[in-house]
Amino acid sequence: GRLNPLMRDMLAPERLNKQGLFNVDYVERLITEHETGAASHHKELWTLLVFQLWCENFIR
């Protein structure tokens, strides 16, 4: 959807690796499965996206 570019940026492997908080392979799998329609991970991806946005605003 319209949030896909933002999600891809905020959940980019380089960004997640730098933080060291999440399993990057797992997050990539969630994104791929969601984008291909293999599974619906909208709640998980929304939670990760909002957390990343929060970190950008309040932790950095």
pLDDT digits (tens, 9 = 90+) for 3-60: 899 999 999 999 999 999 999 999 999 999 999 999 999 999 999 999 999 999 998 7
Count of CA atoms in the C-beta half-sphere (13 A) of 48: 27
User: Do you know the residue count of the chain?
Assistant: 60
**Within 10 A of 19 (CB to CB), how many other CB atoms are there?**
12
List CB contacts of 40: < 8 A, sequence separation 6 or more. Answer: 34
Q: Tell me how many helices (H) and strands (E) the chain has.
A: 4, 0
Q: Are 48 and 27 in contact (CB under 8 A)?
A: yes
Residue 15 has what pLDDT?
95
